Structure 1
Amino acid sequence: MNTPKKLVLAYSGGLDTSYCAIHLTKDQHFEVHAVSVNTGGFTQKEIKTIEENAYKMGVSTYKNINAVNTFYEKVVKYLVFGNVLKNNTYPLSVSAERIVQAIEIIEYAKSIDATHIAHGSTGAGNDQVRFDMIFQTLAPEIKIITPIRDQKLTREEEINYLKANGVDLSWEKAKYSINKGLWGTSVGGEETLTSHKSLPEEAYPSQLEKQKEEKVQLTFLKGELVAVNGEQNAPEINIEILNSLASAFAIGRDIHVGDTIVGIKGRVGFEAAAAIICIKAHHLLEKHTLTKWQLQHKEYLSNFYGMHLHEGQYLDPVMRDIESYLESSQAKVSGDVFITLKPYHFTLDGIQSAHDLMNAKFGSYGEMNSGWTADEAKGFIKILGNQNKIYQQVNSGI
């Protein structure tokens, strides 16, 4: 009798990956090793339930990889350094997670000498691109299997198959699909399939609990969030603490409209209180501590970084090049940012930093300056305007 081929399945515990687990075990006769990657948002109870259900599907082993710190170190900190918001709106909550999840899963597959790897993506979304590109780049010798995509299965067909195989869990489709992680929570529903409907209040996982304004102090050291209200922790823990504080005010909600990797428009709701506040607070600190040329070049490089990450190009060496620039730019981005949390929004009140370039001894904007004389200002303006004057005079009347 032939020994079953060893396969690693990217397992979330949902309908698609549950179908994959049984199909690959019973019909394809693989030795299936299910793996989930925690990039934030999993409770120990949820992990235990996912594990129990995986074994019900017949997998040989189940492993949950804690990659919260890895996710922060490899991706999130650079999203903060770059103040990355796709289309000036979305903090790349899900797309950023998928990259790290794919890397962790393929590395695990190599560590157990798996010959095959599988995921439950359909043929219509972004995740199929991200997973396949990471898998085939890091381990081209491992064959990728995608039952849902290849068989073009409907939800009803998957449910009927599971029931026929003795699995009758509650597969009733929730009205809203929720994907929670360290850097935010995506929210999908029938409204996001339209171009004009907004998500209702109850669609968001966090509801308004506080009405009274609350002051919060965020401390950054070389661009990283090292303390909240004076209490120091690892940055990824501080992000969780900030999210807990801000989500009670129902902050960070929006709907993102963007271009998918496969060329169609997509619309998704999200709730990312900590991500939005962290990015905006960090950007304010940068505006005080970086030169105008640093800010200008960071802006377009950060935009490229976010786009390449979203498109699944994380392993291209240009990403390491941009990360090096972003990290270098943070040398003086240290100090405190003061914010006020309010129902559904927040305000940036100001900053305090030893590197603040608004140092009064060099002059104050709109006031009398001590760094130059009136004649020097006039000469500067005259020379600065030379290009425009020459152009206008040469081309006047032409």
Structure 2
Amino acid sequence: MKKTYNKIVLAYSGGLDTSVLIPWLKENYHCEVIAVSGNVGQGSELDGLEEKALKTGASKLYIEDLTDEFVDDYIIPTMQAGAAYEGYLLGTSFARPLIAKRIVEIAKKEGADAICHGCTGKGNDQVRFELAIQAFAPEIDIIAPWRFWELNSREKEIEYAKAHNIPLKITAETNYSKDKNLWHLSHEGLDLEDPANEAPLEKEGFLEMGVSPMQAPDTPTNVTIHFEKGVPTMVDGVAMNCTEVIKKLNEVGGANGCGILDLVENRLVGMKSRGVYETPGGTVLYKAHEKLEEITLDKETQHYKAQLAMKFADLVYNGQWYTPLRKAMSAFVKSTQEAVTGDVTLKLYKGNILPVSVTSPFSLYSAGMATFDEDDCYDQSDSAGFIHLYGLPLKVRAIKAKEEPDLPGVE
């Protein structure tokens, strides 16, 4: 027996899953359905969304502009951490908690009994949505139809949509599962489900944020990014906010075939899944930030931060954005960015991102120290004592091994 509700708030994107959910919820729960869409930079995907939601049975649609908050409070802190999950720059992962938080706010405002999402029981997004909902509204019920409904395949969803006159932008032949925001676009399903199949990067209409490296220009493009305390503030000398920086880098990176990742990743729920990700601007931005940190962070901080980056990525990927640990790690990362100020120039060429130059008023690099020429700031004879002390444990062990041939651990 299904529970009864007076009002359900639906996380609504207008894609296949959520398009069929409005009439399905009304048929099965006989209650008011309010749709909520988070604008995180998906552009034209929001066109006509209100008309579609209302025509299919929603009493109203909220379209919440979350783009700047998404960039400033989620993308930039993750980029500063250098976090990447198995190479994936976490585009969908950090958008879901933000959208879910806003949905909870609207659900409370509307006095809703439940929140519904269209995530499948095999994916990561169900975890990301529900952990965020639990963090802000543990008292609200969560409805996840993919775990129990009869429309248990995308083909059945398409048939249901046709029967209910729900307009779709896809067909069974173009039915990739996609998620788009300002930072990235993901592609899953259809022929991509078999890792033996080459991704159709050069097929017209497959890539949306750029071109394949094979179709990129034969001449390289240089781009210069300025950072202030780890925050990008200019591109090629033009001052921009972070949202504008990403838009600009998407344009130039996409045009040069940068930021395409074909990955078989380890999902949180235990299976491996193949996806193709487009993150042109993000990939360029990560590279530039990494190059600037190379000359502005000391060795111990740089190395420890690299270890933290992997755990940070796990937390974001696994939907644990609103945990004390993630917040504490972000506080550490922010403290490391005090000196990450300067300019980085990169050369973009057919998918490659090559460093050209990096400068900073806080650079720790000393040409005098590193030179192969004669210098008066480094006494090379000091290295003998350093190596003697550094290797002392090995030397002592070797001596003991001669005295005690059966000493454990000696080859």
The TM tier, using the shorter chain, reads over 0.9
What is the CA–CA distance in structure 1 between the aligned matches of 2:115 and 2:8, rounded to whole Å?
Answer: 5
Task: Report the CA distance shift for 1:384/1:291 in structure 2 as closer, same or farther (over 3 A).
Answer: same
- For 1:91 and 1:391, locate their aligned partners in 2 and report how far apart those are by CA, in whole Å: 45
Determine the C-alpha separation between the residues in 1 that align with 2:127 and 2:150: 16
Q: Write the distance in 2 (CA, Å) between the matches of 1:386 and 1:4.
A: 72
C-alpha separation in 1, matches of 2:300 and 2:150? 50
Q: Secondary structure at the match of 1:350?
A: strand
1:311–1:281: structure 2 CA closer, same or farther, 3 Å change rule?
same
* Matching residue of 1:182: 182
Question: In structure 2, which of residues 228, 237, 240 is the aligned counterpart of residue 233 of structure 1?
Answer: 240
Question: What is residue 345 of structure 1 aligned with on the other side?
Answer: 352
- 1:391 maps to 397
- Map of 1:35-114 to 2, 5 A cutoff? 35-43=36-44, 46-87=45-86, 89-114=87-112
Q: Identity of aligned pairs, percent?
A: 32
TM-score by length of 1: 0.93
Q: Report the TM-score when normalising by structure 2.
A: 0.90
Range with bigger deviation, 63-72 or 167-176: 167-176
**What is the 5 A alignment of 1:9-20?**
9-20=10-21
Deviation string 1:136-170 (CA, Å, 9 cap, x unpaired) is: 22111111112232215233433443444444656
Any unmatched runs of 5+ in structure 2? 407-411
2:5–2:29 CA contact under 8 A, matched in 1: no
AA at the equivalent of 1:387? P
Deviation at 1:195, TM superposition (A): 2.5
Number of residue equivalences: 392
Q: Is the 8 A contact 1:10 1:118 kept in 2?
A: yes
Which segment is superposed worse, 189-198 or 57-66?
Answer: 189-198
CA distance in 2, matches of 1:166, 1:92: 35
Match of 1:242 among 233, 249, 254: 249
Compared CA separation, residues 47 and 210, structure 1 to 2 (3 A)? same
Match of 1:33 in 2: 34
SS at match of 1:394: helix
1:304 equivalenced with 2:311 (yes/no): yes
Secondary structure at the counterpart of residue 93 of structure 1:
coil
| Paired residues of 2:16 and 2:157 also in contact (CA < 8 A) | yes
Moved more, 205-214 or 11-20: 205-214
Cα 1:365–1:394 change in 2 (3 A) is farther
1:95 match: secondary structure:
coil
Gaps of 5+ in 1: none
2:337 to 314, 330, 338: 330
Would you say the 8 A contact 1:289–1:356 is kept in 2? Answer: yes
Distance 1:220 1:260, change over 3 A: same
Matched position secondary structure for 2:354: strand
Cα pair 2:225 2:234 within 8 Å, conserved: yes
Q: Find the counterpart in structure 2 of residue 198 from structure 1.
A: 198
**Counterpart code for 1:33:** I
CA contact (8 A) 2:5 2:113 kept: no
TM superposition shift of 1:380: 2.2
In 1, the alpha carbon distance for the partners of 2:160 and 2:287 equals 48
Q: Is the 8 A contact 1:187 1:204 kept in 2?
A: no
- On the 8 A contact 2:81/2:330 being kept in 1, the answer is no
1:370 matched to 2:373: no
The answer to whether the Cα contact below 8 Å between 1:336 and 1:353 also exists between their aligned partners in 2 is: yes
Equivalent positions of 1:212-227 (< 5 A) are: 212-227=219-234
Kindly state the Cα deviation for residue 244 of structure 1 after the two structures are TM-superposed.
Answer: 0.5
